[in-house]
């Protein structure tokens, strides 16, 4: 793949470039597999980063994303609006149109969004909005504004993607459980994987999914959640071994409400940048049978994103 650039912007100090030579995965993805969490960044010279952003990424264009899709063996992508583009969805919509049906999108919108703007995004392939509660990424948005947006987009059959830290789930519980749409949680609600998988923090997340059948989870981002890190897969330990029990528990209890994505180009990573091929090789450790793999990678994302 071509090297990352930074357009007209200077990337945040310490930010690692995405990996340009991903390995070919040993795990063969089933036909029709979807990378259900990835981003496009800019390029900044064409699609400037938002003034309110908390970081400046390196560019990660639609062409580079589609090359990765083909290299890894995915059929389609779900492209998620990242905070560095704020509520300016032009780069996302541009990528969706260029994908010619092989990508769907999750946008960020503000209260003032018009029906015509929602319809135009729907026509391009947007099927959800993202509400971000991770404090290092966004400024606070009042809950009544988010609830109003959720009620509006529900009419298009869209869902709400939520991104939060596990410690914040108790405080956000009432708001999340009042949302009128399907809800998709990013990265299992970011559990602290140094705590026991059977402990109260993760139990609350499991209760959230158990009691609310409209809640789905992405079992993605082991590289972001792991404390043990990227040990070799053929060594003593698997890569991101400490994340496996958490993701496996969610896949096995809720096989028809889980999604998986690479998270390319991996915003905000400063310690190590994952090889996307090795991330794909992580999948059979959390979805251990062909049936679970099919639900996670093919059936669930196609049902949620390509049903209209
Ligand atoms: C992710 C994770 C992160 C960033 C964003 O929108 C974003 O900026 O989601 C993060 O820094 O944890 O899923 O891309």
Q: How far apart are CA 128 and CA 160, in angstroms?
A: 6
Q: What pLDDT sits at residue 223?
A: 95
Q: Which two tokens stand for residue 17?
A: 């470039």
Q: Give yes or no for residue 82 CB within 6 A of ligand 1.
A: yes
What residue segments make up the domains of the chain, in order of their start? 34-305
Give me the mean pLDDT over the 226-230 stretch.
90
Catalytic residue, from 75, 263, 276, 281: name it: 263
Mapping DSSP onto H, E and C, the string for the chain reads CCCCCCCCCCCCCCCCCCCCCCCCCCCCCCCCCEEEEECCECCCCCCCCCCCCCCCCCCECHHHHHHHHHHHCCCEEEEECCHHHCCCCHHHHHHHHHCCCCEEEEECCCCCCCHHHHHHHHHHCEEEEEEECCCCCCCCCCHHHHHHHHHHHHCCCCEEEEECCHHHHHHHHHHHHHCCCCEEEHHHHCCCCCCCCCCHHHHHHHHHHHHCCCEEEECCCHHHHCCCCCCCCCCCCCCCHHHHHHHHHHHHHCCCCEECCCCCCCCCCCCCCCCHHHHHHHHHHHCCCHHHHHHHHHHHHHHHHCCC
**Of 8, 75, 72, which Cα lies nearest the Cα of 274?**
72
Examine the residue annotation and report whether 263 is marked as an active-site residue of this protein: yes
Decide if 281 contacts 57 (C-beta within 8 A).
no
In tens, the pLDDT along 168-201 reads 999 999 999 999 999 999 999 999 999 999 999 9
**Residues of the chain above pLDDT 90, percent:** 89
Q: What pLDDT sits at residue 6?
A: 66
Give me the mean pLDDT over the 200-214 stretch.
98
Q: Which fold is adopted by the domain 34-305?
A: TIM Barrel (3.20.20)
Q: CB-based burial of residue 50 (10 Å sphere; 0-12 exposed, 13-18 middle, 19+ buried)?
A: middle
Q: What pLDDT sits at residue 308?
A: 81
Residue nearest to atom 4 of ligand 1 (CA): 267
Q: Give yes or no for residue 77 CB within 6 A of ligand 1.
A: no
Give me the mean pLDDT over the 255-283 stretch.
95
Q: Give yes or no for residue 268 CB within 6 A of ligand 1.
A: yes
**Span from the CA of 38 to the centroid of ligand 1 (angstroms):** 10
**Span from the CA of 129 to the centroid of ligand 1 (angstroms):** 14
Q: Please determine, for residue 235, whether its predicted confidence score (pLDDT) is greater than 80.
A: no
Give me the mean pLDDT over the 2-20 stretch.
81
């Amino acid at each position: 793949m071509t090297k990352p650039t930074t357009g007209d912007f200077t990337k945040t100090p310490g930010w690692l470039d995405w990996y340009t030579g991903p390995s070919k995965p040993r795990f063969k993805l089933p036909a029709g597999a979807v990378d259900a969490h990835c981003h496009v960044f800019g390029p900044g010279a064409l699609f400037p980063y938002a003034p309110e952003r908390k970081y400046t990424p390196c560019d990660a264009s639609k062409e580079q994303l589609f090359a990765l899709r083909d290299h890894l063996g995915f059929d389609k992508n779900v492209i998620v609006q990242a905070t560095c583009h704020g509520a300016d969805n032009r780069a996302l919509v541009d990528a969706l149109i260029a994908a010619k049906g092989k990508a769907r999108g999750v946008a960020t919108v503000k209260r003032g969004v018009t029906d015509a703007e929602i319809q135009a995004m729907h026509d391009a392939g947007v099927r959800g909005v993202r509400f971000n509660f991770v404090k290092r990424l966004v400024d606070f948005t009042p809950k009544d504004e988010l609830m109003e947006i959720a009620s509006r987009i529900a009419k298009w059959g869209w869902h709400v993607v939520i991104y939060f830290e596990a410690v914040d789930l108790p405080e956000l519980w009432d708001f999340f459980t009042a949302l009128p749409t399907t809800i998709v949680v990013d990265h299992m609600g970011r559990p602290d994987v140094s705590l026991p998988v059977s402990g109260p923090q993760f139990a609350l997340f499991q209760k959230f999914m158990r009691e609310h059948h409209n809640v789905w989870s992405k079992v993605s981002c082991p590289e972001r959640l792991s404390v043990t890190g990227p040990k070799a897969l053929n060594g003593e330990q698997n890569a991101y071994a400490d994340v496996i029990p958490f993701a496996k528990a969610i896949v096995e209890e809720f096989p028809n409400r889980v999604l998986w994505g690479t998270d390319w180009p991996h915003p905000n990573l400063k310690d190590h940048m994952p090889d996307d091929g090795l991330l794909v090789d992580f999948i059979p450790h959390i979805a251990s049978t062909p049936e679970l793999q099919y639900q996670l990678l093919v059936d669930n994302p196609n049902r949620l994103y390509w049903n209209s």
